[in-house]
Structure 1
């Protein structure tokens, strides 16, 4: 995504959820994404047997989360990308943020081929 213009980012990621002026460091655009996935909730019944303490509880596997993909724009182009939020999955770091970046990388590849006249086979 580094180097994409503001117009390119709007085309591949849409309009930002929020923007902030970073003074001499340009602007920061934030893309917020909330993921509500199907959860697996397992409830362990409470068991008590005489002097044995009570045992019970619950387990929540693969809960939802959220991601803020933050882009620093300097002179009208992406200069830096960072992530914030509860965006990890059990197997991958920053996994909930990947869709914004993936869409823009695909967009950039497609438009680079159009500009150079190359085609993929």
Structure 2
């Protein structure tokens, strides 16, 4: 029964990490407003999609990180018990006059309280540069 108990103990850790990453994504939504287009390209990379409209430019980044999880045999039921977390994310930055004005997330996650956790890697590098005063949102 120990492997099953260990798996059940890992679930809160996966949820905690995902909740932390979701908070990073939400932090980015606020702190990256005003970031210049060149700085965004520097820290987030080249977007997967771009579009223009009367509302400005839209840069979209898609992220599909590998699912995190563990699997161990549970002899009582003769199979295995698996705890995993899969998620995807699409981040869209709206730019007006070359600056970020809004950030939207479209994400899906298998874990509670981690809706935007897969979006964290897109904004994490930008937040790091802001924290190090290497780029400054205006």
Contiguous gaps of at least 5 residues in structure 2: 1-31
Does residue 74 (structure 1) correspond to residue 96 (structure 2)? The answer is yes
Structure 2 equivalent of residue 14 of structure 1: 45
C-alpha distance 68-112 of structure 1, shift in aligned 2 (>3 A): closer
Structure 1 equivalent of residue 124 of structure 2: 102
CA RMSD of superposed structures (Å): 2.7
Judge conservation of contact 2:107–2:118 (CA < 8 Å) in 1: no
Structure with greater Cα Rg: 1
C-alpha distance 66-112 of structure 1, shift in aligned 2 (>3 A): closer
Higher relative contact order (CA 8 A, sep 6+): 2
Which deviates further from its counterpart, 71-80 or 93-102? 93-102
C-alpha distance 108-33 of structure 1, shift in aligned 2 (>3 A): same
In the superposition, the TM-score normalised over structure 2's length comes to 0.61
Deviation at 1:90, TM superposition (A): 3.5
Listed as ranges, the matches of 1:12-91 within 5 Å are 12-21=43-52, 23-40=53-70, 61-87=83-109, 89-91=111-113
In the superposition, the TM-score normalised over structure 1's length comes to 0.68
C-alpha distance 60-70 of structure 1, shift in aligned 2 (>3 A): farther
Pick the structure with more strand per residue: 1
Q: What is the aligned residue count?
A: 102
Contiguous gaps of at least 5 residues in structure 1: 48-57, 114-121
